[in-house]
A = this chain, B = another copy of it.
């Protein structure tokens, strides 16, 4: 997992602790979670575009969760930042791509095995939520 994605999880967990009452500023999250501030800004912006958080500009502004922590799935966030959950493009649900070197996907043994692994991982990732990382 990329640092960006990990930082996103930490930021979400931070906001979840305040949910639904208060909002938090980038600088506060950056300091308490040990995340480079300007890098965190980009991440929070992505989370906003993804519809997970919202923000208030200006003095006393900040970020806050849009949805309850237990409704934000780990898998959704992972996909937003790191793309496919599957280890091979040809077994990916949301980022599917055909392998150029593989003539027949149905007969491909790699496909079969890594589909099982994806199924397993996906199930857990769509079952766990931000509230599980608090």
B-side contacts of A109, CB under 8 Å: 13, 132-134
The answer to the question of A87 belonging to the interface, with a C-beta cut-off of 8 Å to chain B, is yes
Q: Mark A30-74, 1 if CB is under 8 A from B, else 0.
A: 000111000000000000000000000000000000000000001
Given A87-B1, A120-B121 in contact, is the A128-B113 Cβ separation under 8 Å? yes
Taking a contact as CB atoms under 8 Å apart, the answer to whether B33 and A88 are in contact is no
Interface size on A, residues (CB 8 A): 32
How far in angstroms is the closest Cβ of chain B from A117?
6
Taking a contact as CB atoms under 8 Å apart, the answer to whether B110 and A120 are in contact is no
B-side contacts of A112, CB under 8 Å: 132-133
Bound CA–CA A22/B100 (angstroms)? 28
A91-131 residues with Cβ-Cβ distance < 8 A to B are: 99-103, 109-110, 112-114, 116-117, 120-121, 124-125, 128
